[in-house]
Amino acid sequence: MSNLEIDNYIKEVTENVNRIMEEEINGYTKELYEASKYLIRTGGKRLRPSVLVSSLDIVGGERLRGYYGGAAVEVLHTFTLIHDDIMDQDTFRRGVPTVHVKYGIPMAILAGDLLHAEAFRLLNIASKGLESERVHKIFDMFSSAIIMISEGQAMDMSFENRWDVTEKEYLEMIKRKTAYLFAASSGLGALLGGGKDKEVNSLFNYGINMGISFQIIDDILGLTANEKELGKPVFSDIREGKKTILVIKTLSEAPEDERKIVLQNLGNKNSSREE
């Protein structure tokens, strides 16, 4: 596939997944549903749905199942972002105020809870007509992803109060918090598409490696990209005391004067870019 073909593929997936999310996520309480779809409507790369649909295509599955499955993982991803932003006290996401800043913390929590439920409902639609054992595997993988993401977030938060986080611990954290949803997306695509166990396992493991790579690159961009590209303040990871791979490497290998600069700014909410 050329870069143009990849871009067109992601665009097609994005258009179909966006349409499903817009049509399906509706209900009686207007403000709740507006808050729930607020972050979805701001864009995003739709990487996880694209991974799911590509895995489904590899095993020869039905595209509509893939689009509904893609909507399920994107809705789940959005739910985690809303709650993460509350926990991290982030004020911007994708270049706009975060959900809790715009709608308040109570409504943002409810929006996340609603999306959590909607994700399962969308996955149920994607799974209709499949044999019961396959459906069991689908929902087991999806539920396991939520558990792993929760564990990863807990690890990430605990690291903020530690100065001795190792590279091994960091990799285990991002495997849970980020990579497992990529893996689940890839594995779910194979399951929804009727893939064999060997295909499902191979695509799941591919997703793990993709997710780890994605998070390492994202950590680097958090210090090197501009705010417009990043969609949130540059160096926010430093201000929040996040133990990214760059921080861990600096604290363990950099000269003492450079370590002091990092330590002075790590977790300092008022730290400037120049510092």
Structure tokens at 242: 């996040």
Task: Output the pLDDT for position 227.
Answer: 67
Structure tokens at 191: 């399951």
* Cβ neighbours of residue 243 closer than 8 Å, sequence gap 6 or more: 159, 160, 162, 165, 170
Separation of first and last alpha carbons in the chain: 43
Is residue 204's pLDDT more than 90?
yes
Structure tokens at 246: 């760059």
* Cβ neighbours of residue 131 closer than 8 Å, sequence gap 6 or more: none
- Beta strand 92-93 with 96-97 is antiparallel
Nearest to 184 by CA among 165, 213, 207, 166: 207
Question: Tens of pLDDT along 153-181?
Answer: 999 999 988 888 899 999 999 999 999 99
Contact 219, 229 (CB under 8 A): no
Task: Output the pLDDT for position 163.
Answer: 82
pLDDT band at 241 (very low <50, low <70, confident <90, very high): low
pLDDT band at 43 (very low <50, low <70, confident <90, very high): confident
Is residue 226's pLDDT more than 70?
no
Task: Output the pLDDT for position 244.
Answer: 85
Nearest to 23 by CA among 125, 158, 94, 134: 125
Contact 191, 60 (CB under 8 A): no
Task: Output the pLDDT for position 207.
Answer: 97
Average pLDDT over residues 252-266: 71
Structure tokens at 162: 């530690």
pLDDT band at 271 (very low <50, low <70, confident <90, very high): low
Domain annotation for the chain: domains and CATH numbers: 3-265 (1.10.600.10)
Question: Tens of pLDDT along 7-19?
Answer: 999 999 999 999 9
Place of tokens 């363990």: 252
pLDDT band at 270 (very low <50, low <70, confident <90, very high): low
Task: Output the pLDDT for position 51.
Answer: 97
**CA–CA distance, 206 with 179 (Å, rounded to integer):** 10
Task: Output the pLDDT for position 235.
Answer: 57
pLDDT band at 4 (very low <50, low <70, confident <90, very high): confident
Ramachandran angles phi, psi of 129, nearest 5°: 90, -10
Is residue 22's pLDDT more than 80?
yes
pLDDT band at 230 (very low <50, low <70, confident <90, very high): low
Question: Tens of pLDDT along 244-253?
Answer: 888 888 877 7
Nearest to 252 by CA among 157, 175, 173, 169: 169
Question: Tens of pLDDT along 59-114?
Answer: 999 999 999 999 999 999 999 999 999 998 888 888 899 999 999 999 999 999 99
Whole-prediction pTM value? 0.89
Nearest to 40 by CA among 87, 93, 86, 85: 93
Question: Tens of pLDDT along 123-154?
Answer: 999 999 999 999 999 999 999 999 999 999 99
Contact 184, 139 (CB under 8 A): no
Strand partners, 93: 96
From the number of C-beta atoms within 10 Å of its C-beta (0-12, 13-18, 19+), residue 191 rates as buried
Contact 68, 58 (CB under 8 A): no
| CA atoms in the 13 A half-sphere facing the CB of 175 | 11
